[in-house]
Structure formats: C-alpha cells, structure tokens
Amino acid sequence: MMNSATLMIFIPTFIAVSVTPGMCMTLAMTLGMSVGLKRTLWMMAGELVGVAVVSVCSVVGVAVVMVRYPEFFTVFKWVGGIYLFYLGVQLWRSRGKMSLSAHKGVARIPPVTLMIQGFVTAVANPKGWAFFIALLPPFIAYERPIVGQLVVLVGMILVIEFCSLLLYALGGSSLRALLQQEAHVKLLNRIAGVLMMGVGVWLALG
C-alpha cells in the first residue's frame, strides 16, 4: 500500500491535470450537448476503461515500448480521428444519429458505440501515454509489491477522471437545455459539431 505523504502529493497533482481541458473533456462536453448527460455516461465508461489500461501499462513498462514505436498508433489514431470528424460534420449539418432535432429529439445511439468512442479517444492519444509514463512511475515504490499500489493509484485516477468528465458533461448538458428551443437547435448542433471535429483533428494529429 501507499503512504499518506505520497497520496497527499499525488491527489492534487492528478486533479490539476484531470480538470484541464483536453481531448476527453472536450468529447464529454460535446456529447453532453448532443446526446445528453445520461447517454454520455456510456462514453465515460469506455474512456475510464481506456485510462485504466494506459495507467497500468505505464507502470509495468509496456507503454515505454509503445511510445518508442509511434507508428503503432498511426492507423488507430487516424481511423478514430476521421470517425469523430465525420460525426462533427454530421452534427454541423444537423444530420446523423447524434444531431438534436427540434421535433424528435436525439436518435438513440447504441451504448457500445459511445463506449468505443470514449475508449478510442483515451487509448489512441500518444500524448496521454507519454503523460502517464512521466506521472505514475515516480509514485510507485518498486521495491514493494506493485499490485496494491497500482490498485490504489488507478482507483484514485478513475474517481478523479470520472468527476472531471462529469463536470464537463454537465456543462454541455446545461448548454443543451438552454439552447434546446426550436430556434436554437441548429446553433446547438453547430457548436457541438465544431467541438467534435476539433476532437477528431486533435486525435489524428496529436
């Protein structure tokens, strides 16, 4: 297990990093606007699984190998980025499953689709891998059993990350409620579309 002094340093450090606007937080806000808070929770579940995978790999050293061979990410990044950009274009045009309709609301997107979006966004970002490689190992005492320390660290990371995602998704959902009148639906779709396209470009070129 980890000592309290280490936790007192780690917790505020990761909170500061997690609440900073980034790719996953932008996606959470965008989906909060386009599909609502409840359905955004599915994306958040996928994103948290991705964060857990990256965190564990960073500690056990797998991520070091992956960062040294960035071509591993190329296809994954571009496919994910192009898909998110396509969704953004559909939102801008007020078309597709994610767009808000003035009369019918939002079509039901399969939860697995939202989970995949979150997972891909978390795992396909090389900067995220590099960040966890830099952040996590210094907090691990490798002369002691790693499993217990890893459970504590990853558990705290997921709680903090979930709270940050929820904050951004709530912000998007609140904006959605303000702009859901028929006259503002197109504006809402365009705002969400621009953000989604931005996340797609960010993911592909990051």
Q: How far apart are CA 192 and CA 172, in angstroms?
A: 9
The answer to whether the Cα torsion of 7, 168, 45, 49 is positive or negative is: negative
Q: Please say whether the beta carbons of 54 and 64 come within 8 A.
A: no
Identify the burial level of 205 via C-beta atoms within 10 angstroms of its C-beta, where 0-12 means exposed, 13-18 middle and 19 or more buried.
Answer: exposed
Q: Mean pLDDT in the chain?
A: 78
Judged against a pLDDT cut of 50, whether residue 175 lies above it is answered with yes
Judged against a pLDDT cut of 60, whether residue 5 lies above it is answered with yes
69 CB-near residues (< 8 Å, 6+ apart): none
User: CA distances (Å), 148 to each of 3, 38, 60, 145, 154, in order?
Assistant: 12, 33, 13, 7, 10
- Neighbouring CB atoms inside 10 A of 3's CB total 8
The residue count for the chain: 206
Helix (H/G/I), strand (E/B), else coil: 110? coil
- What is the structure's pLDDT at 2? 56
Residue type, 134: A
Q: pLDDT (tens digit, 9 = 90+) per residue, 13-34?
A: 788 778 777 778 888 988 888 8
Start-end of H helices in the chain? 4-18, 23-34, 37-60, 62-68, 71-92, 111-123, 126-135, 146-178, 185-205
Spans of all domains in the chain: 26-205
134: its two tokens: 């830099």
- What is the structure's pLDDT at 167? 92
**In terms of pLDDT, which residue wins out, 136 or 105?**
136
* Mean pLDDT, residues 150-176: 89
Prediction pTM value: 0.74
Q: Please say whether the beta carbons of 25 and 168 come within 8 A.
A: yes
Q: How far apart are CA 151 and CA 197, in angstroms?
A: 35
